[in-house]
Structure 1
Amino acid sequence: MPLPDPTTEQGRAGLAALCADPAGAVVALDFDGTLAPIVPDPAQARAHPGAAPALRRLLRRIDSVAIITGRPAGLAVEYGGLAGLDRLVVLGGYGRQRWEAGRLSEPEPPAGVAEARAALPAVLSEAGAPEGTWIEDKGQAVAVHTRRAAEPERAFALLRGPLVALAERTGLAVEPGRLVIELRPPGIDKGTALRRYLAERGARSVLFGGDDLGDVPAFTELARLREQGLPGLAVCSGSAEVTELTRLADVVVDGPAGVVALLEGYADAIGA
């Protein structure tokens, strides 16, 4: 399967390095919208059926794979069918959790998460949240989804202000996404998680793939690392809902199916 041609010079250099020295390569990917299609109920999300086989092929040749997600790490492993993949690390909660070799480690969430969780029902009621709005408890964070509302974009816009105010009162950060607003602990994002993981591995090249606003820090960090001499390829899992990442990416593919096709093409290119 042929690889796509990156649209930038840095992207072409990154892809060349990934192919020339796979033993030094790290593949880092978001989960929802990148490996798994977006669905109305996040509990029903499952990775594209070709995702785990493609990653298994790559892990025969590359250094490691990191899944960097806002989800709880254990759920990403379960929903992705990823258990049993050697040299796979899942960094959940934007990097606060780590799953590796079947073991999960995480700190206690700050008090603000519990405060926000308790206050959310009243905040949504006072804001006039429409029917279909619902709360997802992620343990290390809480999120409000509007995808099930009759007018999801209108509901998202209506609730953003009150949720930002709640985050300020509880000392949390706001992470907007595809018809979801998440309140999470501050101080770490996907860019920080990516930088730390690449340093830990001593990576000599990196591919990062994402689809949503929460992935912007990782794209920004990848651009910074490339300026410092680390070759890298930025891949956007494209959608009609979020277009911001297309301007930051070297390659835009058609959703999770396109991501899997790219991973398979990379595996073919390195003889995995």
Structure 2
Amino acid sequence: MNTTYFAELSRQLTARGMPEQEVAATVADLPGYLAESGSPDAGEEFGAPDVFADRLTHRDSGERPGAGDETWKWTSDIYTDRLLLNQYGAEGWEVEGIDFAGRFVCRRSPGAVMRWEYRREITQGAKVRDALTAELAPDGWEVCGRWLHMTYFKRPLAATDGPAAELTHTPAPPARHVFFSAKYRGLIAVFAVSVILLVLGIGFDVIDLDRPGVHYGILAAAAVGGLAGWYGVKRDITRGTQSPHHREAVTEP
């Protein structure tokens, strides 16, 4: 059933003018995303092929960028995403979606620019996401992107601030596109050092692979470390990582 869905989606994307290579890359990414989301049915997860194709090509009503619109794509880790979303939302950047590289796709229209606010929720499965979307809708929240088990919502600050939410001056578009926090870089550094020490230990015979049980010990340590890391990241996602007013330094790679 999913094979038929992806074939039809490819046809719809091609009909909308998406280059063949981009169509192939986009569709190739979808099965992995579907597996991560926990949904067995592509139609349930993404919607009808023609509607999904409209979203991917910005052809749904009101989504096609205007001639003078500013566009910007950027990415961050889970430790700074909410902070930065609201920081740049206050500068008028509206998130239209998350692409398959995990980047927030943003647009800002000229003239009267409205400020936006964002929130992140954990939604495992389409039913949970639909229920939460319905619960938040009366307060003006709407889905603006999904990544793995995380769903991002947006609403114009006019929902709470009224006319004061309109910007009279907009800063220049950010020059940066990648934001990594100190904590994220620290985790990457720990992982890299662990791999280097393991390789050096084997290379200098500190770790004797010929000894009985060594292979199993390495595998067990890797499994425990991997599970611990996975649990820690999942806990951070569930609990959140910074308050709306906390400002953490972020750096480019």
Structure number with the bigger relative contact order (C-alpha 8 A, sep ≥ 6) is: 1
TM-score normalised over the length of structure 1: 0.22
Q: Over alpha carbons, which structure has the higher Rg?
A: 2
